[in-house]
Amino acid sequence: MNWIDAHAHVWSPDTTTYPRWGPLAAISPLSFTPAQLLSIARPCDVARVVLVQMSFYRQDHRFLIESLRQYPGVFAAIALADPESPDPAGQMRRLAAQGVRGFRISTGTAPQWLQTDAMRAIWRCAAERGFAICPLLSPESLPALGAMCAAHRNATVVIDHLARIGMASSPDEQSIAALCALARYPRVYVKVSAFYALGRKIPPYEDLAPLLRRVVEAFGPERLMWGSDSPFQAQPPHTYRASLELVRDHLPFLKEQDRCWLLGKTAEGLFFPTSC
């Protein structure tokens, strides 16, 4: 099978042409190019990847767009929405014209990120143009996200990394229930991703099976998609293959058709629609 990785990052070792900012600027590895990503993805039968703009590039999307152009049909792209822009919708439209299909929004723990005019403009534009909104958030922000989903019911929402449930401690019932409650909005999807950072953080990640089962029962496999979050998933003791194998081989409650949705069909429908 040719699977789809719904979440990975790439960056250039050329920090002069592509400068970096912020505390992650010196993150390891120094280089993780599209070719390096494909060198670990293709041996696992992963043929296509959704690239997410790396945060240290901020609003400089040049390397992301160039990666799309270098490998046509192989990559889709999620850019960073800019809630500080005086015209965030205009920015989104310009990036979409270059091939971007979704926009990441992120927050810490406070819900105020969803209560600004700029953020509302981002959501309106996404709903009108069919862009995916991809929130990176922690469980305590799920109620605020729910309020935005209720206000923008036509917006497609793809929650990153299982809402990071289990990042700070074992997955707890309150957080799981808050995530599953968002299944009542039919345009909300979830990325089943970043296993290296969740729960016990030890391959083969089978301690996450109860959480994953709850999410599958709530959303159905048609609204879930696997993502590696490479290169972070590819740092020892973690491997790219171990992330894929959790979904492919170690969740006995999944049917074969369920796995096909999680490992490709869901992401294909949202991010590679011309290939469906």
Q: What is the DSSP string of 95-108?
A: HHTTTEEEEEEE-S
Burial of 60 (0-12, 13-18, 19+ CB in 10 A): middle
Q: What local confidence, expressed as pLDDT, does residue 109 receive?
A: 43
Structure tokens at 222: 């048609």
For residue 36, the SS3 value is helix
Beta bridge partners of 133: 103, 157
Residues of the chain with pLDDT under 70: 1, 108-113, 275-276
The dihedral through the CA atoms of 199, 203, 207, 212 has a sign that is positive
Three-class SS state of 276: coil
Helix axes 117-129, 142-151, angle to 10 degrees: 60
pTM summary value: 0.95
**Residue 232, pLDDT score:** 97
CA distance 29 to 235: 9
Give counts: helices (H), strands (E), the chain: 10, 8
What is the model's pLDDT at position 276?
Answer: 41
**Dihedral in degrees, nearest 10, Cα atoms 41, 47, 48, 51:** 10
The reported pLDDT for the residue numbered 106 is 86
Q: Which two tokens stand for residue 273?
A: 């629609």
Q: Which residue has the tokens 């949202």?
A: 270
Fill in the amino acid letter for 153. R
Sorted by where each starts, the structural domains of the chain and their CATH numbers stand as: 3-275 (3.20.20.140)
